[in-house]
Amino acid sequence: MLNLDLFDDPGRDTGESIALADGALALCGAATSIADTLLAEIRAVEQQAPFRSMITPGGYTMSVATTSCGRFGWVSDAHGYRYSPLDPDTGKPWPSLPTVFTEFATECAARAGFHDFLPDACLINRYVAGSRLSLHQDRNERDMRAPIVSVSLGLPAVFLFGGLKRNDPTRRFRLSHGDVVVWGGPARLRFHGVLALKDGWHPATERCRINLTFRKAG
Ligand code: MD3
Ligand code: FE
């Protein structure tokens, strides 16, 4: 995790935690040692619920490919963004949340002061060169008191972190392999996005970046 505004960032080392803002805590490299286990589980999930490019309510095809696991999965179509217990592509329930996912997310949330976080959804985003996520808020979850735990795997990305209003100024952070960020409290409804991924190669994911977000959706 590198704050691109600061050259000398003490939080870039594994094991450091840095407050990005009130309610947003970065746990640098917290997922590095568990990354291969998480990636093996992602491969199992995608056998049952393949990555696909969802259509936005505005009619655009997302450049990020998504899938989900857990009681609820994130879906987007002409009718809007929402959570659904069924995968619209297969008509079946999403694959269940692997135990290691739940335990890791709960542990990270607790390290940030959110005790008893129990996710019921994990959105899995896959980026290739050029994939981006425009500035948005995550507001489809029922209980905004629950944080979101994000895990970055593979190629690094530049994350844009804004305010509570779309036009508030943004800061940029680099999210690297193994970085975990817990977003809650006053940070929970802040606008955020991801700049277009640069081409590259990472030993864990080859030419892509994968981001997991653990949520309490229902
Ligand atoms: C700040 N994903 O899936 S993770 C998303 O890297 C999403 O794929 C990005 O934004 C990605 O919705 C960013 C970091 C993140 C996730 C949720 C947040 C930051 C957040 C919710 C509120 C505030
Ligand atoms: Fe988001």
With 90 as the cut, is the pLDDT of residue 156 above it? Answer: yes
Instruction: Quick: pLDDT tens for 157-216.
Output: 999 999 999 999 999 999 999 999 999 999 999 999 999 999 999 999 999 999 999 999
pLDDT band at 2 (very low <50, low <70, confident <90, very high): low
With 80 as the cut, is the pLDDT of residue 4 above it? Answer: no
User: To 5 degrees, how large is the angle CA 201–CA 205–CA 17?
Assistant: 95
- Mean pLDDT across the stretch 116-137? 98
Which residues belong to the annotated binding site?
136, 138, 192
User: Cα dihedral angle (188, 116, 96, 176), rounded to 10 degrees?
Assistant: 50
* 8 A C-beta contact, residue 97 and residue 68: no
Which residues belong to the annotated binding site for Fe cation?
136, 138, 192
For residue 119, how far is its CA from the centre of ligand 2 (angstroms)? 16
For residue 100, how far is its CA from the centre of ligand 2 (angstroms)? 22
For residue 55, how far is its CA from the centre of ligand 2 (angstroms)? 16
Domains of the chain: residue spans and CATH: 3-215 (2.60.120.590)
* 8 A C-beta contact, residue 86 and residue 72: no
Half-sphere exposure of 108 (CA within 13 A, CB side): 37
With 80 as the cut, is the pLDDT of residue 27 above it? Answer: yes
For residue 82, how far is its CA from the centre of ligand 1 (angstroms)? 15
Ligand 1 binding pocket, CB closer than 6 Å? 123, 125, 133, 138, 148, 150, 181, 183, 187-188, 190, 192, 194, 211, 213
Question: Which residue has the CA at smallest separation from atom 8 of ligand 1?
Answer: 211
Query: Residue 151 corresponds to which amino acid?
Result: V
pLDDT of residue 199: 98
Rounded to whole angstroms, the Cα distance separating 182 from 148 reads 6
Q: Concatenated DSSP letters for 100-117?
A: HHHHHHHHHHHHTT-TT-
pLDDT of residue 8: 40
Query: What is the value of pTM for the model shown?
Result: 0.96
Q: Ligand 2 is a single-atom ion; what residues have CB below 5 A from it?
A: 138
Helix axes 99-111, 35-48, angle to 10 degrees: 130
pLDDT of residue 14: 76
* 8 A C-beta contact, residue 66 and residue 51: yes
With 50 as the cut, is the pLDDT of residue 7 above it? Answer: no
